[in-house]
Amino acid sequence: MTEVNNDNAADRCEETVTHGDKVERAKSLLPDDDMLFELSEFFKLFGDSTRIKILETLNGSELCVCDISAVVGVSQSGVSHQLRLLRQNRLVKTTKVGKESYYTLDDEHIGDIIKIGMNHINERRAGL
Amino acid sequence: MTEVNNDNAADRCEETVTHGDKVERAKSLLPDDDMLFELSEFFKLFGDSTRIKILETLNGSELCVCDISAVVGVSQSGVSHQLRLLRQNRLVKTTKVGKESYYTLDDEHIGDIIKIGMNHINERRAGL
DNA sequence: TGAATATATGAACAGTTGTTCATGTGATGA
DNA sequence: TCATCACATGAACAACTGTTCATATATTCA
């Protein structure tokens, strides 16, 4: 015990870690902060039902903004805002044809991720 | 064209869909609303860096709340709140030993999902 | 050129979320 | 039994997010 002996109790847990070795090991295995931040930003994109609808809609089809709006039931403006987010994060890409912008998925992993999510939900439903 | 001919322009896009057939097809392929809602709720859990840290920390180790708090750098209370969320959604499970609660992952898919996310980010970084 | 159309974007606002503080609960051991 | 500890939980609040409304931009066609 070379640790400072701080008898000021109250938040003992914060100061004297119960299993120091395990904590150090876990810390060293954690991805770096940048990766953790980007990971959460990435998954945040899937954490909204409008965006999930958009992604699932584009999974297999190429559609213009107006059509996407009709499919997901959100105003053109709302869809456009969400598409911008998805575009900036390279989940979708766009091709301009005349006045229209056609959107498609820009990452082959997206379908996989959503599929795993559905599996989780189905298993959870089955296990009631 | 058996559609009502509404000449009130303004929001034409909302009313007269550009590619009706594609829209109907896309709609029919979409998972039902319950699934879409649960999917977004599920991914929301990954959309916060504290929770991602917790999940990555528990991916391989079994730790008590106090230790998790030390690893992720959030107060015991904050971690406890997040663990409750993860517990309620069956991403983690807990075993009580005396005063301590030991947490582990409760779903074998979680590691997969995070891994795919990291791949996406690494590929995005490489493609600058 | 000017009207119509598809999309993008800024502002504003309500609803949600993550954190901390304070406190409650239940187990341990003196 | 009483103090201590690990953990859980409720309240409060600042920060963030998704939507709509209004408007800007850009393309087509008469």
Given CA atoms A120, A122, A126, A128 in this order, what sign does their dihedral have? Answer: positive
How far away is chain A from the Cα of B5, in angstroms, using its nearest Cα?
18
Q: Whole-number Å distance, CA B15 to C1' D22?
A: 20
Q: Which two tokens stand for residue B54?
A: 């917790």
The CATH 1.10.10.10 portion of chain B extends over 48-126
Of A49, A51, A100, the CB nearest to B37: A49
pLDDT average, residue stretch A85-105: 96
Fold annotation for B48-126? Arc Repressor Mutant, subunit A (1.10.10)
What is the bridge-based pairing of β-strands A100-105 and A63-64?
A: antiparallel
CATH 1.10.10.10 fits A46-126, yes or no: yes
Look at B31 and A70 and tell me if their CB atoms are within 8 Å: no
pLDDT value for A5: 33
What is the separation of C-alpha B24 from the centre of its chain, rounded to a whole number of angstroms?
Answer: 28
Q: What confidence score (pLDDT) does residue B2 get?
A: 31
Specify the length of chain B in residues. Answer: 128
CB contacts under 8 A, A 51-70 vs B, are: 51-53, 56-57, 60-61, 63-64, 66-67, 69-70
pLDDT tens per residue across span B56-114? 999 989 999 999 999 999 999 999 999 999 999 999 999 999 999 999 999 888 999 99
Instruction: Determine what percent of chain A is predicted with pLDDT higher than 70.
Output: 85
**Rounded-to-integer distance, Cα A8 and Cα A74, Å:** 55
**A16/B contact by beta carbon, under 8 A:** no
The yes-or-no verdict on residue B124 having pLDDT over 70 is: yes
pLDDT in tens, B99-114: 999 999 998 889 999 9
Q: Tell me whether B88 touches chain A (CB under 8 Å).
A: no
Strand arrangement, sheet containing B63-64 = B63-64, B100-105, B92-97
Which tops the pLDDT comparison, B89 or A12? B89
Q: Among B42, B63, B100, whose Cβ lies nearest the Cβ of A22?
A: B63
